[in-house]
Structure 1
Amino acid sequence: MKIAFVNIGGSMFTFHNGIAALSAYIKHHSEHEVALIDMIGHPRPLKFQHQVEIIQPDVIAFTAMTIYWPNVRALATRAKQMSSAKTIVGGYHPTFAPEECISHPAMDVICRGEGEEALLAFLNALERGEDYTRIPNLWVKKDGNLYKNDIRPLIANMDELPFWDRDLFNYGSWYDAMPTSLSDLDRPERTVTLAASRGCYYDCTYCSNEPLKAMYGGKTFVRTRSVDHIIKEMKMLKARYNPDLFEFQEELFVAHLDWLEEFADKYKREIGLPFNISYREELARTKNMELLAKAGCNSIAFGVECGSEEYRKKYLTRRMSNRKIEEAFDRTHELGMKALSFNIIGMPFETYDLIQETIQLNRRLQADYLQWFIYQPYPGTILYNICKENDLLLPGYTSSYISLRPGIKLTHITREEFQQCMEDFMALQREQQGYDWLDIAAQSNETLVNVRYATEEERYDIMDLYNQTFQRDHGINRWEWFRRNPEGAEKTPSPSPTGRTSSEPR
């Protein structure tokens, strides 16, 4: 049985943790063949068709965040027009919008929740000619019937899972050209990503963890790998890829003191490289932070999200005070680690003054890296339901994480005020770190790539801001630059994190 995973995304980052985990599990437990159809950047149908013709898969597997569901639909439709392969989609969107996904005529099966065991059972059943309509986690369309199966228990022992399959992505060949880690955009570093756990203890209303916990019936949701299992993988990664830095990409790095004490000792002694994590301000207690610093932690990413204590508590279920946030950043800096600040604007009922509170809090925090995103409502989350109940949802789906348009109807702030808040946030970024949101977007290429798939109004918004940034960074209007350089876009200077360009026009 041959399965082809389709990697869809809006940026230049090829490696996909979820696909790598699924591929590793299938290879570890079976003889099924696994292939990758890489559609990163933008999903060109002809390229997709060519890859399907070459691979000739029995199953074409998609993974879909909500923002990428329109692209998945289009490619699945193309697959059905040219291939007899079964189509299956897993990930966030089919988990929380299952009816929408399974009702699409080009989709045969959807997978809800964690997919390792369900996908393997599906492939085994297909290969043996057995019934696959009763596999837990799967919704299946067959012979005009729809079979909706319950969710299986979570995999409890993380050490039983094989290491991510990086070979599927030809990790070693593209790795050298991979962009730097988030905390060090101004200097090149070879960064390898991994995860120490799955799940999160908290219930932020904009995040999937709260509905996921509800879907799994309150069972143990946060599961952590043993220190020895992680060290074993990192030794392998260190030998194969010679990284400068490791980055843990789970929502929340492990907080148990016993685990941290063991990790700090063994990591420093056996790995000895800097690493990055994500953490909660409430967990930034002295002992935890000292252990992270002892182990060699390079940077900690904190979700600040909003500068108003009242709004955070009422709408985001984030109950920490601003003082607690400032103490977390201060403690991080005092121990010689970098502190990263991530924020959201354009949330339900947010006003101009509320966003300005967020900007002013970030001014006080003096983060080493500051980023903000425009809120996008995700089905299944509490905040999505609030938007739905108050008629704040917009038709369709945003085409990118990096969007310059509000993700919902803004009822308490004008478009002009919202634009001013974005400009104020970018000004603070330039003031504190020398580059801003659009520089980072240009580096990942996601904003410009998604112009192709944006609405007409989105195109105008994106290109207008891009033109403004080009003028600011290069001291010349973009169209005037093209007039002077008729050879075209291949030599177009790109904004760099430092604000410098090697091909600046004279």
Structure 2
Amino acid sequence: MNILFVHSVERPVSHNALLGQGQIQFGISYISAVVQSAGHHTSLLVLNAENERHATETTKHHLLNAKPDIVAFTSVSSQFPFVHRIATLIRRHFPTMYIVVGGPHVSMMPEDAVGNVFDAICIGEGESAFLELVDQLSALKRPLGVPNFWFRQDNGSWEKNSTGPMLDRLDDLPFPDFAMWDPYVDTSEPHFPTIVIGRGCPHRCSYCSNAALSQLADGCYVRFRSPESIITEIRALLSRLAEQPRFIFLETDTITANPKWTSALCDALMKFNHTMPEPLRFHCNLRITPKSTDESFIAKLAEANIRHLNIGLESGSERVRQNILRRRYSNDDFRRVIDLTRKYGIDVSIFNMIGIPGETFEDHLETVALNRYAQPANSLTSIFYPYPGTELYQVCVSRGILPEKENPSERRVAVLDLPEFPKQQVQRAYDLFDWRIHLGYRPLHVNARKLIRHYIGKSNFTNRMFNKMLPIWHRLHD
């Protein structure tokens, strides 16, 4: 069968491309590889939600040319209204098209997709379930009884199947289909290729959907690939790249989830790098735990040439971080990890959130202070967004502070007007965050240039104009 996957982005990364290398969506990449291995054909359409008129015309043109048997959408919560409008357009112009939707939002809130637009809703992991759906359709059968799927019936009712167990062995999956992303990815921008090395997070942070997603099906939620499988994919990745990348991102929620596995992976990476003319550098996520404050653990990462860590601070206030966000580590633990990464030459980027329910401006200033101590290579800072299925989403519901209008600018625009931290103050704190943490540490002209770039990016129009002029900007400031 001919399957068209559809992915949407809030805004393009540049004038020429919609995505950076670090923005590839792995769920549909794995599903595409699985159905291809069974003999089916797949393709991809990436839509720019910033320009909906162009997206609708692109969709109609693409469907007329590609003539898919199935259109399969994936969606996060902030993109779901846009996805629903595009799917409604397809239903109106191509009434017999079989339309599927999956992804984080409908996995958490499947009732949002119930109606007369979608034919099937995928809940949770989709590799084996989607293949079974495709096989039934290719046999000219009405799909029935497929775990992880809800199906719309002719009378408007829905068959709601239970979820099957989570995939036990990630090594059993084929490598994801990267090739379908090639027309949409800017390979010149400074992100780097990514390899998924694990799935799931053992922690239960109140703002994150991992806790709810872990309850969707039986089986082990936190899983890792074998080091041998990871090394094999690294070699396959290098063979298709024109030049060796600066970094490879090893994607899993946290490298500290299973220290024994991490040690084995580090040994495999060291052995692999001994075969390379120039050793590869690696980048990964790290959640602060008692193990991560152990110097031998950080030293092991450095020996494996893991040279960049994304560390989740989220809030510098221990009250907010521990009591509201459910992240049980101290500011001293954070400083200890920062000190160790400096000692072993590992750069860090810091995840921060602003505008958390219960946070005050004084709490936020503690976040600024800890970031000033860390002086991260990047501050991965966002405005709190209430994701359905999370504990803090329910807090927002109970407090009556959920936004009434959709907000596609997820995590860049303040959506909650908190009595303890008003919306305008949250937005200003976000806009000035980098300026504040680097003031006095970074040259003033560099700080000013980055602040100007931030404000340019706040408007979709000015951001599009800037992307068109990006080569000139680089020549002026290199």
Instruction: Provide TM-score, normalisation by structure 2.
Output: 0.87
Report what 1:63 is aligned to. 74
Report what 1:361 is aligned to. 370
Question: Is the CA contact (8 Å cut-off) linking 1:206 and 1:378 kept in structure 2?
Answer: yes
Once the two structures are TM-superposed, the CA of residue 175 in structure 1 deviates from its matched residue by: 5.5
Report what 2:429 is aligned to. 421
Q: 2:160 aligns with which of 148, 157, 179?
A: 148
Name stretches of at least 5 consecutive residues in structure 2 with no aligned partner: 13-17, 274-278
Question: Is the CA contact (8 Å cut-off) linking 2:19 and 2:185 kept in structure 1?
Answer: no
Q: 1:258 aligns with which of 257, 260, 268?
A: 260
Q: 2:190 aligns with which of 169, 180, 184?
A: 180
Q: 1:233 to 1:318 in 2, by over 3 A?
A: same
Indicate the SS of the match to 1:502: helix
Report what 1:280 is aligned to. 287
Question: Is the CA contact (8 Å cut-off) linking 2:211 and 2:390 kept in structure 1?
Answer: yes
**Equivalent residue letter for 1:149:** N
Percent identity between matched residues is: 27
Report what 2:204 is aligned to. 203
Q: 1:136 to 1:441 in 2, by over 3 A?
A: farther
Report what 1:439 is aligned to. 453
Report what 1:126 is aligned to. 137
Name stretches of at least 5 consecutive residues in structure 1 with no aligned partner: 182-190, 452-462, 467-487
Q: 1:438 to 1:263 in 2, by over 3 A?
A: farther
Counterparts of 1:94-173 in structure 2, within 5 Å, are: 94-103=106-115, 105-144=116-155, 145-170=157-182
Deviation digits for residues 186-240 of structure 1, max 9, x if unmatched? xxxxx211111000110011111101122235x3111110000000000111121
Once the two structures are TM-superposed, the CA of residue 309 in structure 1 deviates from its matched residue by: 0.7
Instruction: Provide TM-score, normalisation by structure 1.
Output: 0.83
Greater RCO structure (CA 8 Å; 6+ sep): 2
Matched, 1:45 2:56: yes
Report what 1:4 is aligned to. 4
Q: 1:358 to 1:81 in 2, by over 3 A?
A: same
Aligned residue pairs total: 448
Matched, 1:337 2:362: no
How far apart are the structure 2 equivalents of 1:6 and 1:260?
34
How far apart are the structure 2 equivalents of 1:100 and 1:32?
29
Once the two structures are TM-superposed, the CA of residue 354 in structure 1 deviates from its matched residue by: 1.4
Report what 1:192 is aligned to. 193
After the TM superposition, which segments of 4 or more aligned residues of structure 1 sit over 4 Å from their partners?
435-438, 488-496
Question: Is the CA contact (8 Å cut-off) linking 1:329 and 1:367 kept in structure 2?
Answer: no
Question: Is the CA contact (8 Å cut-off) linking 1:207 and 1:381 kept in structure 2?
Answer: yes
Report what 2:15 is aligned to. none
Once the two structures are TM-superposed, the CA of residue 130 in structure 1 deviates from its matched residue by: 2.5
Report what 1:229 is aligned to. 229
Once the two structures are TM-superposed, the CA of residue 260 in structure 1 deviates from its matched residue by: 2.8
Q: CA RMSD in A?
A: 2.5
Matched, 1:383 2:392: yes
How far apart are the structure 2 equivalents of 1:438 and 1:110?
43
Once the two structures are TM-superposed, the CA of residue 250 in structure 1 deviates from its matched residue by: 2.2
Deviation digits for residues 62-100 of structure 1, max 9, x if unmatched? 000001101101110111122221111100110111111
Report what 1:92 is aligned to. 104
Deviation larger for 349-358 or 425-434: 425-434
